[in-house]
């Protein structure tokens, strides 16, 4: 029975290292694209929920200074008789709170690494932001990035807002 020579073993080893390296790069890129797709989908779902809130209470939920939505309730909503605005809203927590038709508001897929969603609203308009990891995503926006808004410890570069 003939075994491989040292030169043949080195050649096989080099081929395997190259294959594993290329596979690792592709897997990493696929995971990043998946997280970015999740972020875009989360913002679309949140936008629908925010619009539902507007239809019910005649204003968009306001925001906290740290970018949370003030649109959750600890008890049944209490409405202002004249305006129809909800009076007893409390800040929602990403990944914990129930907001409109969302059982648990999602948080950024890399929240443990400091990524987070950012919500800004005065009740009349709103803006919802996230930081995409992929700089070559079609929705990545330098115009948003130059605003220097903080999505956790990252700069926001993708967003959705009221019409």
One DSSP character per residue, 35-82 reads HHHHHHHHHHHHHHHHHHHHHHHSS--EE-TTS-EEEEESSS--B-TT
Half-sphere exposure of 122 (CA within 13 A, CB side): 2
Determine, yes or no, domain membership for 24.
no
Determine, yes or no, domain membership for 14.
no
* Alpha carbon of residue 128 to chain centroid: 9
> For position 163, what pLDDT does the model report?
83
Distance CA 114, CA 55 (A): 33
Residue 39's Cβ-count burial label (10 Å; 0-12, 13-18, 19+) is: buried
> For position 118, what pLDDT does the model report?
98
Question: Domain range spanning residue 135?
Answer: 36-161
Q: Which residues contact residue 86 at a Cβ distance below 8 angstroms, ignoring those fewer than 6 apart?
A: 56, 57, 71, 73, 77, 78, 79, 80
Provide the token pair at 50. 């925010």
> For position 133, what pLDDT does the model report?
95
φ/ψ of 102, rounded to 5, equals -100, 115
Number of domains comprising the chain: 1
Question: What residue ranges of the chain have pLDDT lower than 50?
Answer: none
What's the pTM? 0.84
Determine, yes or no, domain membership for 10.
no
> For position 24, what pLDDT does the model report?
65
- CATH of residue 82's domain is 3.30.700
């Amino acid at each position: 029975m003939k075994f491989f020579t040292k030169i043949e073993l080195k050649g096989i080893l080099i081929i395997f290292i190259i294959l594993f390296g290329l596979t690792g790069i592709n897997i990493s890129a696929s995971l990043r694209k998946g997280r970015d797709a999740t972020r875009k989908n989360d913002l679309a779902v949140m936008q629908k929920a925010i619009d539902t809130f507007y239809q019910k209470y005649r204003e968009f939920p306001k925001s906290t200074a740290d970018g949370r939505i003030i649109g959750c309730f600890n008890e049944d909503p209490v409405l202002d008789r004249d305006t129809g605005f909800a009076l007893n809203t409390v800040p929602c927590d990403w990944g914990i709170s129930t907001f409109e038709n969302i059982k648990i508001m999602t948080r950024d897929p890399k929240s443990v690494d400091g990524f987070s969603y950012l919500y800004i609203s005065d009740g009349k308009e709103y803006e919802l932001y996230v930081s995409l990891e992929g700089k070559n995503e079609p929705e990545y926006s330098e115009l948003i990035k130059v605003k220097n808004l903080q999505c956790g410890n990252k700069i926001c570069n993708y967003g959705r807002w009221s019409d």
